[in-house]
Amino acid sequence: MRNNHFKHKKRFFRFVRLLRRLRPLELPVTHRHNHVELFHGGRQFFEALFAAIRYAEHTILLEYYLIHNDHIGAEFANELADAVQRGVEVRLIYDYIGCLDTPASYFKNLSKQGVKLLPFNVPSFKRGIYWFDKRDHRKMTIIDGTLAFLGGFNIGEEYAGCVTDKMSFRDLGFSIQGEAVWELETIFNETWSGERDEPSERAAERPRIHAKKSWNAAVNIISGGPRQRRSYIREAFQVNIASAAEEILIATPYFVPGPRIIRSLLRAVRRGVRVRLLLPARSDVPVMLLLGRSSYATLLRGGVEIFELEREILHAKVMLIDGERTVIGSANLDQRSFHRNYEINCLVDNTQFGGQIRALLLEEIDGSSPVELDVHERRGLLIRIMERVVRLFGWFL
């Protein structure tokens, strides 16, 4: 990336002004002394996660959208049961709809082992059909209030790289040590209390963090949910896109950005920013491919570069701004993540972490197929009709 001090200084102050729009008054925003570690494959992520669970001494807090009853799910359950036997308090929030295919016996066994369970958004006719459209899409583990694991990984073999490439999910995860973990624990406790219709637990006093000199990653936590008056998740994407001076790299599996994000990307190109999107060529939700591709022509004409990953199913959710600021977590660039899911994203301002993300994304882009406007425009009439029909329901998908 080019090193232009004045351009970056001007962009920084613009970013700070825009970021103030996002600030929930009751929560801290910037945590400056953190260590952030990237896990670019499922095997690496789950090895680190399970090792951390084994060393837990006091509490393990977990919040996951999907947990499979397979080899990885069984190992996950065994690690949690062993932790309870050591005297560790283990609490798990899982999404009821996301885990609909997971047998009830899996969770009954966890409960018998002493794991405290909370199914999120259990069906209730008292709430009409509203309950069905709300999801807890977060993926988060917090160990002893000092170490957190986040990203796109659910609990299952396809995320851990235990299946063939055609069925494997290409994902990213990361861990945080430092000041930001306290806020993540607060968010977990609010969700736990809110779903149980109990008064919120009194926030624990912020622990003293003995940060190492090398812990220099600034982290902002962006928590999203349908109870918010506006979408902090979407605004975090918009603010960072607006602050870009040179380059935007985005990877997302479900691409339904809506007009605001599309306008933001096109404005960035007009400012001279190079914008590249890494999107899936195959999906576990095929209708989302049709919906996402219906926006391609507008973006391609505006100068946005689009690439489709073919060898695996893309599941990573990350945006990198100018090689140094990363938006990463559970949220997709779609309307569900913006408005109806409970999500957790992090803004990581660190050149070393950003450099790792950039190298990975560029490697994936180099191995992906570029989408050319003239080829895209030659897609069949039936496909165009299907795209138009699907777009009518885009907000609900």
CA distance 203 to 171: 33
Amino acid at 229: R
Catalytic one of 70, 82, 133, 144: 144
CA distance 180 to 211: 12
> What is the C-alpha R_g of the chain?
21
Catalytic one of 317, 334, 339, 349: 317
Distance of alpha carbon 301 from the chain centroid: 28
Taking residue 42's Cβ as centre, other Cβ atoms within 10 Å add up to 25
144 is catalytic: yes
Q: What is the DSSP string of 65-79?
A: S-B-SSHHHHHHHHH
Beta bridge partners of 29: none
Catalytic one of 322, 334, 339, 349: 322
- Can you point out the beta strands (E) in the chain? 30-39, 59-64, 89-95, 116-120, 135-136, 139-143, 147-151, 169-170, 173-178, 217-224, 247-251, 274-280, 305-309, 313-314, 318-321, 325-329, 341-349, 369-370
Catalytic one of 31, 68, 315, 339: 315
40 is catalytic: no
> Nearest CA to 181 among 217, 213, 153?
217
284 is catalytic: no
10 is catalytic: no
Is residue 166 helix, strand or coil?
Answer: coil
Helices (H), 302-380: 335-339, 351-366, 373-377
Catalytic one of 68, 134, 139, 339: 139
CA distance 282 to 294: 15
Backbone angles phi, psi at 42, to 5 degrees: -65, -40
Q: Which residue has the tokens 């920013």?
A: 273
Residue count (the chain): 397
Active centre residues (catalytic) = 137, 139, 144, 315, 317, 322
